[in-house]
Amino acid sequence: MRTQDYYDEFSGWYERERGRGYHQLVDDLEVELVERYGRGGSVLEAGCGTGLLLERVRGFAGEAWGMDLSAGMLARARARRLDVVQASVEAVPFPAERFDVVCSFKVLAHVERIREALAELVRVTRRGGYLLLEFYNPWSLRGLIKRWKPPSSISARTTDEAVFTRYDDLAAVRGYLPAGVDVVTVRGVRVVTPFARLYAVAPLARLLGGLERRLADFPGVRRLGGFLIVVAQKTG
């Protein structure tokens, strides 16, 4: 199944579980990192989906743009009056050195031509600017569970295994990055949460949420996050 078709189908209920519990925590940890590097600057979100994160980024960035492959997702982003374009991460429709920060969450794991995609994201980042690149970590609780669980339905006719998915640790990501880009740090998201549904139980949600916030930037442990956000700076 084409990635574009997969997300067009997913767009109809993509936001159903967002805005609370586990999904809110993950969104918060991602947006907080964008604000750390992008407050007052120009930001591009590559793979913005329906614009849930981009709408929040717009509140603190000097300028916020989004791009996505899925027309279905972008229709919802445009309804939020966000500045978005339809495009692939392998062919970013912006000039070189256009943005202070380029971020991408839960997208690069579904890109087969990862070196080409990263080269494009680096191209549109200004020298001295930052890239926040999220990958699926094989050395995590989430990675282990994904290897053993049955497929999950995203609609009446397809599952989450219908689209290409890659798992990359930090060493692999370093190898994908072009010359002139240095890894600055990493943030681990979903370090200790085994199952998202545990956040439906209020005491567990408070306990797990508090731990996740503390461990996201904790040296060593952060590398165990199910979602590994690599922060890299364009130096060359």
Helix, strand, coil shares, percent, the chain, to 5: 40, 20, 40
According to the model, what pLDDT value does residue 99 have? 98
According to the model, what pLDDT value does residue 11 have? 46
Per-residue pLDDT reduced to its tens digit, 87-120 = 999 999 999 999 999 999 999 999 999 999 999 9
According to the model, what pLDDT value does residue 146 have? 77
Give the span between the Cα atoms of 198 and 179, in whole angstroms: 42
Helix (H) or strand (E) holding 92: none
According to the model, what pLDDT value does residue 150 have? 65
* Residues 221, 49, 11: CA angle, nearest 5 degrees: 115
Per-residue pLDDT reduced to its tens digit, 130-155 = 999 999 999 998 888 777 766 555 45
21-38 and 202-215 helices cross at what angle (nearest 10)? 20
According to the model, what pLDDT value does residue 145 have? 77
- The pTM of the full predicted model, rounded to 2 decimals, is 0.89
The pair of three-digit structure tokens given for residue 231, joined into one six-digit string: 């922060």
Give the span between the Cα atoms of 83 and 55, in whole angstroms: 10
CB-based contact 30:18 (threshold 8 Å): no
Give the span between the Cα atoms of 160 and 77, in whole angstroms: 22
3-class SS at 80? coil
Amino acid at 31: V
In this prediction, the residues of the chain whose per-residue pLDDT falls under 70 are 1-17, 19, 149-162
DSSP string across 133-174: EEEE-SSSHHHHHHHHSPP-BSSSS-BTTSS------HHHHH
CB-based contact 33:229 (threshold 8 Å): yes
Q: Label residue 123 exposed, middle or buried (CB < 10 Å: 0-12, 13-18, 19+).
A: middle
Residue located via tokens 């793979």:
47
According to the model, what pLDDT value does residue 225 have? 96
Bridge partners, 101 (sequence order): 43, 130
